[in-house]
Amino acid sequence: MANAEKAVSADRRDVRRQQLIEATISVIGRKGYAGTRLADVASQAKVSYGVVGFYFRTKEDLLLATLQWLADEYTSVWREAVEKAGPSPVARLRAIIDADFSPRIASEKKIAVWYAFWAEGRTRPKYRNLCAQLYNDYHWQVRTIVEEIIEQGGHEDIDAHQVTVAINAMTDGMWLDLQIQPRDFDREEAKKAIEMFLGKVFPAEFGNS
């Protein structure tokens, strides 16, 4: 049947595309954005050079699809973490930070790819918009949670925006540390430093570790 046919080849198509996206992440991680060649992606994915062009019209298309995939993965991971954490804003915030430093999200390879796109994003509106969108969604979610903590705890003197910006910046900065000094620094230490910060801002909610 035509329907069965289409379903099968659509699956096949998605599998190949996924395979190529993962290969692209590996190659950018290994060789950097500027050093990534379609030939490298093809051999990493164990397919011939021509296949890349067959599934992604241009190199640009492949890179955009890779960024989009990473963004979707990242967003779905933190959203799921928040849902699982239940209603407590403290648990929700902890869940987001855990997600940010989970091996799936904060692997050396993926951090390297994020940095590559952030760096290139400055000159490519499509990268930039995608990153800005992601950033906004995340920022908004953290801010909502921070506001809940402030309200529930009666800490009306605390500026939710400022705390949100600080959490955000610390997370991104820790990622840079992980990228520059992967030996002297690990994900657990990063998380603990952020917990320390939250412990100072919300002493009652985030206990002294």
Partner DNA sequence: CCAAATTGATTGACTTATCGATCAATTATG
Partner DNA sequence: CATAATTGATCGATAAGTCAATCAATTTGG
* CB-based contact 150:158 (threshold 8 Å): yes
Residue 31 CB, nearest approach to DNA (Å) = 9
* CB-based contact 89:149 (threshold 8 Å): yes
Q: 81-115: b or e for each residue (b if 16 or more CB lie within 10 Å)?
A: bbeebeeebbebbbbbbebbbeeebbeeebbbbbb
Which CB atom, from 6 or from 161, has the smaller least distance to a second copy?
Answer: 161
DSSP state of 106: S
Which CB atom, from 63 or from 190, has the smaller least distance to DNA?
Answer: 63
End-to-end, the C-alpha distance of the chain in Å comes to 62
- Interface region with a second copy, contact rule CB under 8 A, candidates 2-10, 40-48, 87-95, 187-195: 187-195
Cα separation of 209 and 195, whole Å?
8
For a second copy, the binding residues in 76-135 under the rule CB under 8 A are 112, 115-116, 118-124, 128, 131-132, 135
Q: Please report, for residues 3, 17, 187, 200, the alpha-carbon distance to residue 128 in angstroms, rounded to integers and kept in the order given.
A: 38, 23, 26, 34
Tokens of 21: 């996206």
The reply to whether 201 sits near a second copy by the rule CB under 8 A is: yes
Cα separation of 24 and 21, whole Å?
5
The reply to whether 192 sits near a second copy by the rule CB under 8 A is: yes
The reply to whether 25 sits near a second copy by the rule CB under 8 A is: no
Binding site for DNA (CB under 7 A): 1, 4-5, 8-9, 12-13, 16, 36-39, 47-51, 53-54, 57-60
- Interface region with a second copy, contact rule CB under 8 A, candidates 14-22, 45-53, 78-86, 180-188: 180-188
Which positions touch a second copy (CB under 8 A)? Answer: 29-35, 112, 115-116, 118-124, 128, 131-132, 135, 159, 162-163, 165-166, 168-174, 176-177, 179-181, 185, 189-190, 192-194, 196-197, 200-201
